[in-house]
A = this chain, B = another copy of it.
Amino acid sequence: MRIAELSASTGVPVPTIKYYLREGLLPPGERSAPNQASYAEPHARRLRLIRAMIDIGGLPVATVREVLGAVDSTDTPVDTMLGEAHYALMNRGDKAGEQAGEDRFEVAARQRLDRLIAERGWSVDPTAPAAEEIVTVLAALDRFGQPELTASLDTYADAAHRVAVADLDAVGARTDRDELAEAAVIGTVLGERLLAALRLLAHQDASGRRFPGARDDGLPAD
């Protein structure tokens, strides 16, 4: 199909498609005439993936390029490819690089995480960006005088692992390599938003049960 048809079928404007082509996010079409290129279904699928990452995932173009790089390196084994895509996704909005050296809160947080990984027998890289993020958050909770949430760490880890297993079950049903990668990327980004939103909604329910008609201002409940 021509670029106008690719645009029509995906809902992505032609100038945006041209931008993705220039940026190397989208592979070039097959040259069908000196001034014309032809695009096929893989282009449409790739476009949907790019839009998912940018629109839904809020990822910057540089991160999208990194993730696609991991997806496209066909000499990489599946688990490594998924791992690399993950690393790129985990690195978004990275603020960890700012600090030089760890303070006492971070040292304690890292020990807490190491203990959690050991207790659960998780086979993970304790220096992965996600692990750094966990250390940052646990340290911040401690620093802000909110150790209670740290006490819920086991509940969090349980919940996270259940969801992760369900994610892999969903993704693992795919056999095509590209589809597998795309499902992993979309699932990672959208699943994160889904889980966060469900937690916020569940807070409403849990809050209503915890404070049933609670009033602390002496006003009558209305």
Chain A interface (Cβ < 8 Å from any Cβ of B): 48-49, 52, 55-56, 58, 74-79, 82-83, 86, 89-90, 93, 95, 122-125, 128-131, 133-134, 136-138, 140-141, 144, 146, 148-149, 151-153, 155-173, 177, 183, 186-188, 190-211, 213-217, 219, 221
Contacts and interface: CB of A to CB of B under 8 A. Distances in A.
A152 B167 contact: yes
Contacts of A159: 158-160, 162-163, 195, 198
Contact of A140 (B123, B190, B192, B214): B190
24 contacts: A49-B144, A52-B144, A56-B137, A74-B217, A76-B217, A79-B207, A79-B208, A79-B211, A82-B211, A89-B200, A122-B205, A128-B204, A129-B200, A130-B198, A146-B183, A149-B191, A152-B163, A155-B163, A156-B191, A156-B195, A159-B159, A159-B198, A168-B203, A195-B195
Contact of A141 (B77, B137, B186): B186
Nearest to A160: B198
Nearest to A154: B166
Contacts of A211: 78-79, 82, 172
Given A82-B207, A124-B205, A156-B195, A186 B146 contact: yes
Contacts of A155: 162-163, 166
A214 B79 contact: yes
Contacts of A156: 163, 166, 191, 194-195, 198
